[in-house]
Amino acid sequence: MNTLLWVIIPYLSIMVFVGGLIWRRRYDKFGWTTRSSQLYESTILRWGSPLFHFGVLLVLIGHVGGLLVPKSWTEAVGITEHAYHLTAVFLGTIAGLCTLIGMAILIARRRLVGPVFTSTTRNDKAMYAVLGAVIVLGLWATVRANVVGDGYDYRETVSPWFRSLFILQPDPSIMAGVPSSFQIHVLAAFVLLAFWPFTRLVHAFSAPVGYLTRPYVVYRSRDARSQRGLRAARRGWER
């Protein structure tokens, strides 16, 4: 059971994620978009969207820091466990709340604004459910363990296990003793990861950072791939 949950599912999910992204990039470049609904409605979006997106970016940074950077490193540069924990829980909760509120606004908008709702696909709805679940579960795990409870240091358990996946020496036994709230959050996250390439969430991978450095006006030559022949021009009235 442990192996299934903490080795097979994560690896499967990562495989689907990477494979799915590559496949989608090749097969469905045209469908790779944010599918923005700002044209229909922008007053609510102006609040909800930045709140959600900036929140989620902060959350992402937090996760990278917490999961990938070993505890010994932060301690080596003089950050005590207590200080780290405090900032992480504090910032994490704020970022998580921003994300949650933003997401609530966006989902409410999606449901209540007619045109936005009409243009919501089934895929979108499923995606919202999974994404929402991951965020809520994560927030709940943090709040339960650190605000209500007396603190839990996932960097002792979840993080080493997570890193062990990437050095191909998965160690499922560590995860067995982790509080169930964290376990569920982690599993939900892997479900989201596997679902990711098949939803509009792919737009996260086209964050346009190149814009900062490229020249303003892009010149390109006519597409050389689609040469198929030429036919002589005929005048309008001869056609």
Partner 1 sequence: MRVMAQMSMVMNLDKCIGCHTCSVTCKQAWTNRSGVEYVWFNNVESRPGQGYPRTYQDQNRWEGGWVRTRRGRLKLRAGGRMKKLLTIFANPKLPSIQDYYEPWTYEYEHLLSAPAGEHTPVARPKSLITGHDTKISWSANWDDSLAGGNEIAAGDPILAQVSDRVREEYEKSFLFFLPRICEHCLNPSCAASCPSGAIYKRAEDGIVLVDQDRCRGWRMCITGCPYKKVYFNHRTGKAEKCTFCFPRVEIGIPTVCSETCVGRLRYIGLMLYDADAVGKAAAVESKTDLYTSQLSVFLDPNDPAVAAAARASGIPEDWIDAARRSPIWDLIMRHRVALPLHPEYRTMPMVWYIPPLSPVVDVLRDTGHDGEDPGNLFGAVDALRIPVEYLAGLFTAGDPAPVTEVLRKLAAMRSYQRRINLGEERDESIAEAVGMTGRQIEDMYRLLAIAKYDERYVIPAAHAETAAGLEELATGCSLDYEGGPGMGGSGPFGETSGRYAPIAVENFQALSTRQRADDINQPGPEAKRVNLLNWDGKGRPAGLFPPRESPNGPDPNGPEEKP
**Residues 198, 27, 165, 179, Cα dihedral to 10°:** 0
Query: Given the rule CB under 8 A, which of 34-42, 71-79, 156-164, 183-191 is the region that contacts partner 1?
Result: 34-42
Regarding 46 and contact with partner 1 (CB under 8 A), the answer is yes
Regarding 82 and contact with partner 1 (CB under 8 A), the answer is no
Regarding 180 and contact with partner 1 (CB under 8 A), the answer is no
CB of 239 to partner 1, least distance (A): 8
| Buried b or exposed e, range 96-115, using 16+ CB within 10 angstroms | bebbbebbebbbebbeebee
Regarding 32 and contact with partner 1 (CB under 8 A), the answer is yes
**Distance (Å, whole) CA 165 – CA 8:** 10
Task: Give Cα separations from 156 to 61, 153, 163 (angstroms).
Answer: 19, 6, 12
Region 93-122 residues binding partner 1, contact defined as CB under 8 A: 114-115, 118-119, 121
Regarding 52 and contact with partner 1 (CB under 8 A), the answer is yes
Q: Which amino acid is at 157?
A: T
Question: Whole-angstrom distance between the N-terminal and C-terminal Cα of the chain?
Answer: 71
Supply the DSSP string of 161-204, one letter for each residue.
HHHHHHTT---THHHHTS-HHHHHHHHHHHHHHHHGGGSGGGGG
CB of 41 to partner 1, least distance (A): 7
Cβ atoms of 197 and 27 within 8 Å: the answer is no
Regarding 78 and contact with partner 1 (CB under 8 A), the answer is no
Query: Given the rule CB under 8 A, which of 35-43, 93-101, 151-159, 183-191 is the region that contacts partner 1?
Result: 35-43
Site string for partner 1, 183-202 (x = CB under 8 A): ---------------x-x--
Size of interface with partner 1, in residues (CB under 8 A)? 61
Chain-centroid distance of CA 7 in Å reads 21
Contact positions vs partner 1 (CB under 8 A): 24, 27-42, 45-46, 49-50, 52-54, 114-115, 118-119, 121, 123, 198, 200, 203, 206, 208-212, 214, 216-224, 226-237
